Amino acid sequence: MLDLTTTEIADLLVGGVMAAGEDRLDAVARTGIPWVGSCGALDMVNFGAVATVPERFAGRLRYEHNANVTLVRTTVEENRAIGEWLARKLNTFTGRWLFLLPLGGVSALDTPGQAFHDPAADAALFAAIESGVADTGRVRRIPHHVNDPEFADAVLTAWREVHE
């Protein structure tokens, strides 16, 4: 299984409208199927139209994707919590798996010059995952953006490795 865009975990933990259930990743842990994951779009929490964004997010960095979708940037603290949650889940996996960290950014909005570029928030996410996963050899730093062809190559290499 390739599971590269896990944004619904941010929605679960921060309060967005496209939240995964608390059991996200549990089926992979139970079945032990080969799995390659990443943290695509964990820089954002999803909401509907701008008027639907809860008041508690007032003053937060927002991006109006279209009239029906507004994205709110996750903070350093939220990214740390997301990384800790992911690490706890990854530690329950019984099969062959790898988790790839796209050091160049986790979404199209998370690149230099784009609205959600925040290296400190990304670093908090990556550090929490790396420090929380018991088998650190299963977490790999990839020096590319999640949308770069080189990252796709790294995904394919990882897939071959877990699928051997």
**For residue range 63-109, what is the model confidence (pLDDT) as tens digits?**
999 999 999 999 999 999 999 999 999 999 999 999 999 999 999 99
What pLDDT score does 137 carry? 95
- Average pLDDT, stretch 133-153? 97
β-strands 139-142, 97-102 pairing: parallel
**Superfamily grouping for domain 2-42+75-163:** Uncharacterised protein family UPF0261, NC domain (3.40.50.12030)
Torsion angle in degrees (nearest 10) through CA of 41, 14, 2, 164: 120
Rg (CA), the chain: 15
What pTM was estimated for this model as a whole? 0.97
Return d(Cα 12, Cα 45) in angstroms, integer: 9
Q: How far apart are CA 105 and CA 151, in angstroms?
A: 11
Which pLDDT score is estimated for 164? 85
8 Å CB contact between 129 and 83: yes
